[in-house]
Homo-oligomer: A and B are copies of this chain.
Amino acid sequence: MAQVKPMRADARRNYERLLKAAAEAFAEHGENASLDDIAKRAGVGSGTLYRHFPTRQALLEATYVDRIEALGERADEIAKELSPGEALVEWLYEVCVRTTEVRGLKSLLGSAVTDGSRVELTACATHMKAAAERLVGAAQEEGTLRRDVEPIDVLRLAHGVATASELAKGGGSHVRRYLSLLTEGLRPG
């Protein structure tokens, strides 16, 4: 699975430049930033971009793997500090916040939890699912999470909460509230 042959020097250089340009462009214009423009920013031809990243999704993934990995690590940090139930909620909160804050991350996380997505098991999907499994399993052990939900359900619902929050003007400020409505339920407590 790993790079069998080392990349040629110019290829490696262009790859990195493209990632940098992509991060800028996605941050500036959202997930639909023009790909040709990204190539231009990076100072390479568009052919080079498409050779390295055959689809927008591939570029998005490469651009944000580190963020996704960071989320995976956060899961474990949080798990050390809080009880399993609290840890799950707090992690989901962070996932939602990133989803709404980091432009372009949303579609990536979305396709990571989509059934039958073209892209077979991307690195991002794997990371997220693994982290969710750990937290969900622990919370169920503890008895603070229903046993009839799967990790993937939780991830999808978190994505839904992020989407709902985004619909409000100050998206971020609604995340906590909407997430707690999900965890506590809409019935009066």
A: residues with CB less than 8 A from B are 85, 110, 113-116, 143-147, 149, 153-154, 156-157, 159-165, 167-169, 177-178, 181-189
Q: Could you tell me if B116 and A186 are in contact, using CB atoms closer than 8 angstroms? A: no
Q: Could you tell me if B143 and A188 are in contact, using CB atoms closer than 8 angstroms? A: yes
A160 neighbours in B (Cβ, 8 Å): 157, 160-164, 178
Kindly state the separation between the CA atoms of A181 and B186 in the bound complex, as whole angstroms.
9
Q: Could you tell me if A146 and B188 are in contact, using CB atoms closer than 8 angstroms? A: yes
Which chain B residue lies CB-closest to A109? B167
Q: Could you tell me if A182 and B182 are in contact, using CB atoms closer than 8 angstroms? A: yes
Known contacts A156-B178, A160-B161, A185-B186; 20 additional CB pairs below 8 A are A114-B167, A115-B169, A116-B169, A143-B188, A144-B188, A145-B188, A146-B181, A146-B189, A153-B177, A153-B181, A154-B186, A157-B181, A159-B163, A159-B164, A159-B167, A160-B160, A160-B178, A181-B182, A182-B182, A184-B185
Can you list 10 residue pairs at the A/B interface with Cβ under 8 Å? Answer: A110-B167, A114-B168, A145-B188, A146-B188, A156-B164, A156-B165, A157-B160, A157-B161, A159-B164, A182-B186
